[in-house]
Structures are given as structure tokens and as C-alpha cells.
Amino acid sequence: MTIRSKRDLEVVLSKLQSYKQPSFTLEQYPTPSHIAADWIWTMAMRGEVAGKVILDAACGPGILGIGLLLLGAKRMFFIDKDEKIMVVCRENYELIKNEYDIGEAIFIAHDITLFAEEVDLVVQNPPFGTKEKHADKKFLEKAFSVAPVVYSMHKYTTKRFVEAISKDFSFRITDTWRYEFPIKAAFAFHEKPVKKIDVGLWRMEKESS
């Protein structure tokens, strides 16, 4: 079987397992399949997926990394500090691997600061920093140190922060996309069944010296 369109990709990703008991403190909100598919398809159309070694940081159930493998990534590092969701991520990978010819996956259950490999690209949808201010900062710092190209999703209201930190690490922002990120009610304090958050996806590239 092969993925022939962005819609095909979205359908496959929508069938993956997600968080069963999401953590409030870790801000575990899954990347919606339609956003993940749009993100990954855009990367593939730029020639940034096939044959690449990629890190999916704060991977959760692995929707981004698995989507990239479906479009030809050579090797995917999945990293998340939550050991339980890493089990789900591995199960999702094995499920897809049974149906599609996809690349290698390496699963790492520890904090992002301990990752020490070099990769071609980083994709990440880290905690938005709602519960811990700039919880996404360490993800950006690590991403900038291990790859020349970084795709990172954050609340759009943190635009100045993303611009400033990318500049500090000599990365230039080449593209920005905005999405309405739907968060389904998962905790008792959620008042609406779905809350939409204005998020940005930034593509950042290391400036040549």
C-alpha cells in the first residue's frame, strides 16, 4: 500500500491510537490528523522527507513521525518523557509497519535534554507553556543543536519569543503557518467540548556562517 494524497495520509493518521489518560501538567494534546497531514505533506513537497533521518520531539503517540515514515523518511527518532505514551507510540508504529513498507524507528523514553544524536530535521509539537512558562524553550534549544532545519509548533501569541530564540541560535525563520488547533475536553475544568487555540508552525533554518 502507498500514500497517494494528503487526504490518504490524513485518513491513515486518524486511525492511530492517541492519549488514553492525558497528563494535565505535561500538556498532552494530540496533533490533529488534518494538521499533521498538512504539515507532513508540505515537508514532503519540499523534498525534506524521503531518505531523511528525523527527530520527532515530544512525540506523544507518534502521529508526526509515523506520517513522515509513511512518506519515505529513512529513520525516525521518537522521544517523549512519558513512558506510557511511548508504549502507544511503538504500538502505532508496529501497526503501520504491518501494512506499509516504512523506515526504521528508534524509541527513547527520556527528557529531550538528554538527546545527543545529529539528525537532518526536527519536527516537534512541544508543550505550549500554558502550565509552565516557556516549557517549549528547552525543545527549541535542543532542536537547534542537533539539526539544521527545525519545524516547531507553538501558540501564535508566543511569536516574539520564537523569533527571538531562533535569532539567538542563528536560525532564520523561512516560513510560518497558522492553524486553529482544536483541543477536546479531557479534564474536569474544561468548560467546552472543544476549544480552539491559535497556533503557529515555524520552519527555521540554520544560517550559513
The answer, yes or no, to whether residue 186 has pLDDT greater than 60, is: no
Task: Give 56-66 pLDDT, tens digit per residue.
Answer: 999 999 999 99
The predicted pLDDT at position 87 comes to: 95
* 128 or 90: which leads in pLDDT: 90
Instruction: Write down the pLDDT at residue 181.
Output: 87
Phi and psi at 124, nearest 5°, equal -160, 140
The mean per-residue pLDDT over the stretch 99-108 comes to 97
Which listed CATH number (3.40.50.2300, 3.30.110.30, 3.40.1190.20, 3.40.50.150) goes with 6-151? 3.40.50.150
What is the residue-averaged pLDDT of the chain?
A: 90
Q: Using H for helix, E for strand and C for coil, what is the string for 15-31?
A: CCCCCCCCCCCCCCCCC
pLDDT of amino acid 187:
47
For 37-189, strand residue ranges (E) read 53-57, 75-79, 104-108, 121-124, 149-155, 171-184
Could you tell me how far CA 93 lies from the centroid of its own chain? Answer: 15
Cell triple for 53: 533521518
Whether residue 52 has pLDDT greater than 70: yes
Q: Give the per-residue pLDDT at 26.
A: 52
Share of the chain above pLDDT 90, in %: 78
Q: What is the pLDDT of residues 109-152, one digit of tens each?
A: 999 999 999 999 999 999 865 556 667 899 999 999 999 999 99
Bridge partners (DSSP) of residue 195 are 183
